[in-house]
C-alpha cells in the first residue's frame, strides 16, 4: 500500500482566470452510462441537534444489489454539492466512475446543514452550519452514526466497515468531514476536502498541532486548495491548508494535496473530483491501516509500535484505589465489588493476591490523583476539572513548596474538563496522564509531546508501568484492565531514579 505524503500541482493555464478550470470527460454525461436514482428526504427529529430540520438526498447506482453491503460516501453541504456548473457534478462523476469500475458501486448521501426555523413569522432562522461543521467535537459524527445512517439503512444495505465509508465537503463542511473521521475512525476512513476552512473559526486551526502529537489514525485524505483563497481575521486559508497537509505528511498519513490558483471557490475541486475519487478508493477493498511515519520522526513511534494496540487483560471489575506494582513488575489492584485484591503477572495472568507493601507519599484531595516524580524532587497533582498538572517542589524535610500549574494538558472540544486521573512516569522523566482525550505524554518541562489512543470502551482512569523490565503500560477503563507494550521503561515509585537533565 502506498503510504507516502504526495504533492499534486494543478495550476490552471496562465491564460485562464484563477477559477476557470475545465470539466473533463468523467464529469460529462457519457453515452451508454446508466444513471443512478436520487431520492430526497427530510430529517427534522434530531436529538443531537434538537430543533433542526434539513434535507438529504440518497443516490443509488444501477449496479447496487440489496444482498451486498454497499460502500458509502457522504457529501456535506449536499444541496450545493449537487449544483450545476459551479459544483462537482457529483452524480455524473459517480455514474461514470462506477460504470468504468474505477470505484466500487456505492451509495451516496448528500446532506444539508441543519436550520432551526424562526419561532415567530418574519424573524431570521438559526443556521447551524458553522456550529455543526466548524466544531471539533464528535457531535456531528454521532449525528451521522446514530441518526442518519440508521434511517438510510432501513431502505438500503450499507456497509458497516469503516474502510468502506468516506466523507467529503468544501470550506467548513470539509472541516466537518475531516473531524467526523478524526473522531470516529471506527466509522469513517476516507476524506475529501475542498478549500477547507482549517482556520481559527471554532478551533480547526488547532488540527496541525494535534495531528503531529496524536497517535496516527487509519485515514486517507485528499485535499484541494487554491493559492488565492481568502486571508482574513481567522487566518490565511491557503497557508492553513498547507500547514495541515504538512502535518499529515509528517505523521505518516496517506494524503494528497492538490494545489491550484483559485480563490475560495469549489470550481477547481469540482473539476478534479474524478481524480480525487479514484485516488481515495484505489485498491479497495484493501483496508486502510495505521501508517508508520517516515524516518521514525513522529514522537509517538518512539513510545509505541503503531502496529500494536491495547490488549484486554481482564474485565468485570470495580477498581477501588489505584494500580500498584512490586519489584518484579507484577501489577496489583483491588476490586471493590468482589472485595478482593488481584495480581497480574508479566504474562498477564490474573490471580487473587495481597497488595504489595511499598508505599509512596500521598496527597489527598477530592477529584485529584498524585504521583511523586521519579527523582522524588516534586509531588505532582492532577485535577480532573483542570488542564493543569500542578507541581509541588519537595524540601529536604519533606514539606511542600508553593505549587505551579506546570504540565499543560489538551482538553476536548466543547469542554475545559480533562478528566485527568492516574499518572505514571518513565525513566526519561516523561509523564503519562490518563485523560478523556487519551493517554497524554508530557516532557520534563511540562510540554505535551504525544497523545496515545485510549483503550476502547470507556475513559481511561488508572495507569502504571509494570511487566518485564517495566515496559508495559497498564490502564483501567471502565470495568476493564488493558495493557500495551511501551518503548520506554517505567520506574519503581519507591526508588529514587537518576533522570537525564531536561533540555529547556
Centre a 10 Å sphere on the Cβ of residue 237 and count the other Cβ atoms it contains: 24
Joined together, the cell numbers standing for residue 60 give 443509488
Do 354 and 275 belong to one domain?
no
- pLDDT for the residue numbered 291: 66
pLDDT in tens, 197-256: 999 999 999 999 999 999 999 999 999 999 999 999 999 999 999 999 999 999 989 999
CA distances from 192 to 78, 469, 497 (A): 14, 44, 49
Average pLDDT (40-50) is 97
Taking phi over 0 as left and psi of -120 to 50 as alpha, with beta for the rest, 312 belongs to beta
Task: Say yes or no to pLDDT of 296 above 80.
Answer: no
Task: Say yes or no to pLDDT of 453 above 90.
Answer: yes
pLDDT in tens, 57-92: 999 999 999 999 999 999 999 987 765 554 558 999
CATH number of the domain residue 238 falls in? 3.40.50.1820
- pLDDT for the residue numbered 12: 37
CB 143 within 8 A of CB 45: no
Give the pLDDT band (50/70/90) at residue 365: low
Domain extent, residue 287, equals 5-298
Do 340 and 284 belong to one domain?
no
Do 139 and 283 belong to one domain?
yes
Do 89 and 167 belong to one domain?
yes
Do 277 and 420 belong to one domain?
no
- pLDDT for the residue numbered 101: 98
Do 207 and 284 belong to one domain?
yes
> Is 211 domain-assigned?
yes
- pLDDT for the residue numbered 55: 96
pLDDT in tens, 85-142: 545 589 999 999 999 999 999 999 999 999 999 988 889 999 999 999 999 999 999 9
CA distances from 200 to 127, 175, 204, 232 (A): 19, 12, 6, 10
- pLDDT for the residue numbered 88: 58
User: For a pLDDT cut of 90, what percent of the chain falls above it?
Assistant: 78
Do 232 and 310 belong to one domain?
no
CB 264 within 8 A of CB 237: yes
Task: Say yes or no to pLDDT of 298 above 60.
Answer: yes
Cell 529514587 belongs to which residue? 496
- pLDDT for the residue numbered 4: 44
Strands (E), 176-219: 190-194
Do 182 and 217 belong to one domain?
yes
Among 277, 317, 301, 246, which residue's Cα sits nearest to residue 479? 317
- pLDDT for the residue numbered 290: 64
Last residue of a domain, one of 298, 327, 357: 298
Do 234 and 377 belong to one domain?
no
Do 80 and 26 belong to one domain?
yes
Do 22 and 54 belong to one domain?
yes
Give the pLDDT band (50/70/90) at residue 459: very high
Q: What are phi and psi of 334, to 5 degrees?
A: -105, 130
User: What contacts 233, CB < 8 A, 6 or more positions away?
Assistant: none
Task: Say yes or no to pLDDT of 386 above 90.
Answer: yes
Total domains in the fold of the chain: 2
Helices (H), 281-413: 300-303
DSSP-derived secondary structure for 431-456: EEEEETTEEEEE-TTS-EEEEEPPPT
CA 11 to chain centre: 31
- pLDDT for the residue numbered 2: 38
- pLDDT for the residue numbered 366: 56
> Is 270 domain-assigned?
yes
Task: Work out the burial of residue 286: count CB atoms within 10 Å of its CB; fewer than 13 is exposed, 13-18 middle, 19 or more buried.
Answer: exposed
Do 250 and 396 belong to one domain?
no
> Is 475 domain-assigned?
yes
Which carries the bigger pLDDT value, residue 28 or residue 361?
Answer: 28
> Is 495 domain-assigned?
no
Amino acid at each position: 500500500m502506498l503510504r507516502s505524503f504526495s504533492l499534486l500541482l494543478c495550476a490552471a493555464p496562465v491564460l485562464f482566470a484563477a477559477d476557470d478550470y475545465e470539466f473533463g470527460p468523467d464529469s460529462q454525461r457519457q453515452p451508454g452510462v446508466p444513471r443512478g436514482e436520487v431520492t430526497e428526504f427530510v430529517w427534522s427529529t434530531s436529538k443531537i441537534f434538537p430543533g433542526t430540520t434539513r434535507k438529504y438526498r440518497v443516490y443509488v447506482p444501477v449496479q447496487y444489489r440489496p444482498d451486498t453491503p454497499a460502500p458509502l460516501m457522504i457529501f456535506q453541504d449536499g444541496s450545493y454539492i449537487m449544483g450545476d456548473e459551479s459544483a462537482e457534478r457529483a452524480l455524473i462523476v459517480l455514474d461514470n466512475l462506477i460504470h468504468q469500475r474505477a470505484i466500487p458501486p456505492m451509495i451516496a448521501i448528500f446532506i444539508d446543514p441543519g436550520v432551526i426555523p424562526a419561532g415567530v413569522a418574519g424573524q431570521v432562522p438559526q443556521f447551524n452550519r458553522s456550529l455543526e461543521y466548524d466544531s471539533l467535537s464528535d457531535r456531528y459524527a454521532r449525528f451521522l452514526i446514530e441518526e442518519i445512517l440508521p434511517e438510510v439503512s432501513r431502505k438500503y444495505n450499507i456497509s458497516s466497515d469503516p474502510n468502506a465509508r468516506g466523507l467529503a465537503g468544501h470550506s467548513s463542511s470539509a472541516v466537518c468531514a475531516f473531524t467526523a473521521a478524526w473522531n470516529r475512525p471506527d466509522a469513517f476512513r476516507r476524506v475529501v476536502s475542498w478549500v477547507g476552512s482549517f482556520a481559527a473559526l471554532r478551533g480547526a486551526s488547532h488540527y496541525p498541532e494535534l495531528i503531529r502529537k496524536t497517535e496516527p489514525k487509519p485515514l486517507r485524505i485528499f485535499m484541494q486548495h487554491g493559492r488565492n483563497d481568502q486571508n482574513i481575521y481567522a487566518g490565511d486559508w491557503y497557508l492553513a491548508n498547507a500547514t495541515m497537509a504538512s502535518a499529515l505528511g509528517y505523521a505518516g498519513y496517506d494524503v494528497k494535496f492538490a494545489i491550484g490558483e483559485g480563490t475560495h471557490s469549489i470550481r477547481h475541486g469540482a473539476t478534479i473530483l474524478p481524480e480525487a475519487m479514484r485516488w481515495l478508493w484505489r485498491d479497495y477493498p484493501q483496508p486502510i491501516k495505521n501508517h508508520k511515519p517516515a524516518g521514525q520522526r513522529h514522537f509517538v513511534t518512539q513510545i509505541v509500535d503503531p502496529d500494536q494496540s491495547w490488549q484486554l487483560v481482564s474485565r468485570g471489575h470495580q477498581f477501588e484505589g489505584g494500580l500498584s506494582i512490586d519489584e518484579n513488575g507484577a501489577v496489583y489492584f483491588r476490586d471493590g465489588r468482589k472485595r478482593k485484591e488481584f495480581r497480574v503477572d508479566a504474562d498477564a495472568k490474573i490471580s487473587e493476591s495481597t497488595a504489595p507493601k511499598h508505599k509512596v507519599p500521598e496527597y489527598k484531595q477530592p477529584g485529584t490523583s498524585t504521583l511523586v516524580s521519579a527523582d522524588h524532587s516534586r509531588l505532582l497533582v492532577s485535577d480532573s476539572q483542570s488542564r493543569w498538572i500542578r507541581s509541588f517542589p519537595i524540601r529536604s524535610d519533606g514539606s511542600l513548596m508553593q505549587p505551579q500549574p506546570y504540565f499543560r494538558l489538551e482538553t476536548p472540544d466543547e469542554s475545559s474538563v480533562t478528566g485527568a486521573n492516574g499518572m505514571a512516569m518513565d525513566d526519561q522523566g516523561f509523564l503519562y496522564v490518563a485523560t478523556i482525550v487519551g493517554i497524554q505524554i508530557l516532557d520534563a518541562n511540562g510540554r505535551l509531546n504525544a497523545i496515545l489512543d485510549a483503550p476502547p470502551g470507556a475513559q481511561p482512569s488508572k495507569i502504571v508501568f509494570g511487566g518485564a523490565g517495566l515496559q508495559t503500560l497498564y490502564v483501567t477503563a471502565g470495568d476493564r484492565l488493558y495493557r500495551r507494550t511501551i518503548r520506554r521503561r517505567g520506574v519503581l515509585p519507591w526508588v529514587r531514579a537518576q533522570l537525564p537533565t531536561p533540555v529547556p
